[in-house]
Amino acid sequence: MAGTSTIRRGHSLSTDPVEAVRELYDAIFQPDMAIAVFFCSTAYDLEALAAELRLRFQDLPLIGCTTAGEITPVGYQDGSITGFSIGGAGSRAASTRIDYLGDCAISAGFLAAEELMGRFAIGGPPVSDANTFGLLLIDGMSAREEVVVSTMHWGLGTIPLLGGSAGDDMRLSNTFVYHDGAFRSNAALLTLVQIDAPFRTFNTKHFRGTDEKLVVTRADPERRIVLELNAAPAAEEYARIIGCDVADLSAEMFGERTLMVKIGGEYYVRSIQKVGADGSLTF
């Protein structure tokens, strides 16, 4: 059954921040907008982009993050900005930010979820997994996603959570989330969205598992560094398995021959970031 909630999508391929924001705003603005979300390349001058976003959207609820490639209404792009808005009388949204991720308490995710659930409990329809979902945008270089997500689930209960990590066009240097008119690093944004239209969460992947198994025999989990696989230097063993030399390992190779972990019958990609000087693999 359809509701009153509406979704508008838009994008801009312009490299000029002013033109790009104007085109995005014109495409996704709608009355009674509950939330607007955008994803942008770090090829933009982010200070100029933030200034134009503030000017165009003013007090409208707007969040976003930087990317490593954008999925737009016209397909995959690089160096662009894309986004969507959710509005209508049957929609509402609220966001909260976790700062200083590197030093935040393990309970930070739970407290963020609890705060938003409390705000949604005041007025409006009761929250349920049929009408509400959570959206997480988080600094992709923080290495705190697992901790934040796991504790958020305590506070959200059965409310589905989707989202991902901000990127920086594969520079692996500085990634940002956008909130309250500025791009911020070392931060995470949790948003609760309630709509009166049916929805579902899903994921897609274009990999399939093989019979080849690797066991992590030495690692530094806090820094996501695997030192050994199958009791051998990690990069050396990975290269042997995929049939190349360690010197030939690259981002393209990592993407084509990715490692996966099997949990509950499902495969989940574990992306390699780089090879260390000591023969380790950083994820």
Tens-digit pLDDT profile for residues 217-255:
999 988 889 999 999 999 999 999 999 999 999 988 998
Residue 136 reports pLDDT greater than 90:
yes
Q: What is the pLDDT of residue 202?
A: 86
Residues 238, 256 contacting (CB under 8 angstroms): no
CA distance 247 to 44: 33
- The pTM score is 0.86
Domain boundaries of the chain, sorted by first residue: 6-194, 216-282
Tens-digit pLDDT profile for residues 193-213:
999 999 998 887 788 888 889
Residues 270, 283 contacting (CB under 8 angstroms): yes
Supply φ then ψ for residue 246, to 5 degrees: -55, -40
Tens-digit pLDDT profile for residues 1-20:
456 899 999 999 999 999 99
CA distance 235 to 226: 9
Mean pLDDT across 77-95? 96
